[in-house]
Structure 1
Amino acid sequence: MDELAVGVIGGGWMASDYHLPTYDEHPATRVAGIAELDDRRRRELAEQYGVPGYATIEELLDGERIDVVSICTPPATHHDVFLLAARAGCHVFCEKPLAIDAESARELRRAADENGIITQVGYLARYYGNAERAMAMLRNDLLGELLEVRTSHHSTLPGQRWYFDPALSGGGVMRDLLPHSLDVYIDLFGEATVERCRTREIHGRGVEDTATLELLAGEVPIEITVGWTHTEGYTRHVAVGTEGWLEYDGERLEGAVHGRPFEFENGESPLVDVGLTKLYGATDDDAHTERIRDFVEHVVRGDPETQAPVSRGVRVAETIDSAYDFAEESQ
């Protein structure tokens, strides 16, 4: 088949560091055009990739034949950009959050269904090797009946000012970081209802900087803490069951099943285990790139069942809306 023509909307670091190079290097895609409001940034990227640059998605769709649209703009703009792409028959990869509220997300789902397009929301956590292994263990009930599941996800304070403008971001750290964990847990356990939510504003930016949620997925209690910090980020996931436990971050996964310990690094088992020292092979655990490649493969196959279609984005948005409702009630 011919290469898929991709239009990248937005010229920030996510587009320049991941979307544009991934589509440019993938054998099934080519960058056909870039839409970016900032004149200087638009010229730089258009020149770098040798493609036309447009100020808006409307101009891009009018000027080029586009098969795939990749949305890398602030959250409040996702709704209109997604609708234009869907109505033009373009498949859509949208950075998270899908939308700034559940009502908007549901409208995007309807547009995707009506136009028969393939969609994916850019959640990240599931594409790390350790997460893939941990999710497989949980799906296969290797830990027995789950007693508790916990996630702590803290990231450096965002540099872009729009993160702190609710009109553009839809909220604070819950809109920014929470979607990654909710994607995984909703996938694993189905509906996860919010039981409690507490938020704090620390840096005086007008949005919440930390949040702790308690959710219930069937009988499984889940606790998620997210936060922005001035120090280096920290992420840790823990699951404890009647038959074992696991704990992992981006680099290491460890635990035990029926008393037998296991350990992985970046999703890989050790090549050599000499007691006190374990040697691992080199890995390229680039989750940012892998999720885009995965989406492209689904589009090539004509397979709408991506890892995180727009329907998942709706459920994530509904859960976050519920969390904000609980946070307001607790204040």
Structure 2
Amino acid sequence: MTATVRVGLIGAGGIASAHLLGYHAHAEKIAVAAVAEVDPAVRQRRGEELGVPVYDSYLEMLADADVDAVDICLPHHLHRDAIVAAARAGKHILCEKPLCLTAEEAAEVQRAVTEHGVTLMCAHNQLFLPTVAKAKELLDSGLLGRVYEVRTTDSFFNDFDPDSMGWRASASTSGGGELIDTGYHPSYLMLHLAGGRPVQATAMLSTHRLTFMEGEDSAQVLVRFDNGVVGHLVTSWAYAPASVTERFSVVGELGSLHSDGTSLTYDLRSGDSETFTFEKVHTISAEIGHFADALLTGSRPLHTEKEGIEVLGMILAAYQGARTGTIAEVIRA
């Protein structure tokens, strides 16, 4: 690895714009060195903007471009193939959520990454909220003792319509509905704060407003972890939550903590209480910097394919529980 990580961007529209802010912010250690994009207009625009070679096929880019890693910003159903191809080419990987769509795809991803010895980081950007980092530090210090419950929320009024929703409207390309899309964020946040492995899940799914979708526009999910923690998440594109709703909260034997995303408060049964406030950060920029640091130092990213597969397992079990009216087991890759 050189002093600057050279990245091939796979998919240059949509979320890639936010990723590029991260590359600009951390230009001293990581940079986009090539772009693969199927849309000719987007491909040309990104090539001119970045001054790098462009390709209409990521397979061609992997074979030809001088890159150390790839950043996968593709629709959900294309993640598995791009991950496997990049791993076989010996490239490290940053992949947007979800990691992939099925247990079978997850097994392929795990096998490819392991066999070819590359680092895969899941682009779980909300882990880089300062409130989340502080909450994790406090939990790991034992502030709350044994944790009983984790709650997470990520809901907003989404103005999608049939013309603008694109591939997200189809379950075959999105993997489901809102839960496997925006709902992925409160899922990985719950996993991070719970500190255990998910073993059971169920859900109630709803379509309140976006009736043109094949999948749900809202979900409420329950997850049990192997350390006894029970998680509850609420996620929706149909509505914004009530103003008193926490972004996340944790309850344990010694007290609780809660956050609105910008401040964090803990209240202990002993009477001790403290509130922390933080400046806003661009979480995707922080994520790009963390990816660079992991590759340059050989350290483990916060979430690798291990956590990505666990989050996917939670969501797939939640979907199964909703379909069957049961509590489903989380399948391990």
Global fold match (TM > 0.5)? yes
CA distance in 1 between counterparts of 2:120 and 2:307 reads: 10
Which of residues 244, 248, 272 in structure 2 aligns to 1:260? 272
Residue identity opposite 1:190 in structure 2: G
Shift of 1:226: 1.1
Shift of 1:194: 2.8
Q: How does 1:1-331 map to 2 (within 5 A)?
A: 1-17=2-18, 19-24=19-24, 25-157=26-158, 159-187=164-192, 188-202=194-208, 203-204=210-211, 205-217=213-225, 218-229=227-238, 236-257=247-268, 258-266=270-278, 283-303=279-299, 305-330=300-325
Instruction: State whether residues 244 and 259 of structure 1, in contact with CA within 8 Å, keep that contact through their aligned partners in structure 2.
Output: no
Pick which of 147-156 and 321-330 moved more: 147-156
Q: Secondary structure at the match of 2:180?
A: helix
Change (3 A) 1:118 1:165: same
TM-score of the two chains, using structure 1 as the length reference: 0.88
Instruction: Give the length in aligned residue pairs.
Output: 313
CA distance in 1 between counterparts of 2:91 and 2:199 reads: 33
After superposition, the C-alpha distances for 1:1-38 in whole angstroms (9 at most, x for unaligned) are: 34322100111231122x22322442122221111111
In percent, how many aligned pairs have the same letter? 29
Residue identity opposite 1:77 in structure 2: L
CA distance in 2 between counterparts of 1:4 and 1:243 reads: 44
Q: Secondary structure at the match of 2:97?
A: coil
Instruction: State whether residues 120 and 304 of structure 2, in contact with CA within 8 Å, keep that contact through their aligned partners in structure 1.
Output: yes
Change (3 A) 1:23 1:87: same
CA distance in 2 between counterparts of 1:178 and 1:231 reads: 14
Instruction: State whether residues 194 and 213 of structure 1, in contact with CA within 8 Å, keep that contact through their aligned partners in structure 2.
Output: no
Change (3 A) 1:36 1:286: same
CA distance in 1 between counterparts of 2:56 and 2:188 reads: 32
Structure 2: state its 5+ residue gaps: 327-333
After superposition, the C-alpha distances for 1:30-72 in whole angstroms (9 at most, x for unaligned) are: 2211111111111111101111221110121233121110000
After superposition, the C-alpha distances for 1:65-113 in whole angstroms (9 at most, x for unaligned) are: 2111000010100011111111110000000000011220221111011
TM-score of the two chains, using structure 2 as the length reference: 0.88
Residue identity opposite 2:205 in structure 1: T
Q: Secondary structure at the match of 2:247?
A: strand
Residue identity opposite 1:206 in structure 2: E
CA distance in 2 between counterparts of 1:130 and 1:206 reads: 35
CA distance in 1 between counterparts of 2:153 and 2:89 reads: 40
Aligned-residue RMSD, C-alpha: 2.0
Residue identity opposite 1:255 in structure 2: Y
CA distance in 1 between counterparts of 2:187 and 2:131 reads: 17
Change (3 A) 1:89 1:308: same
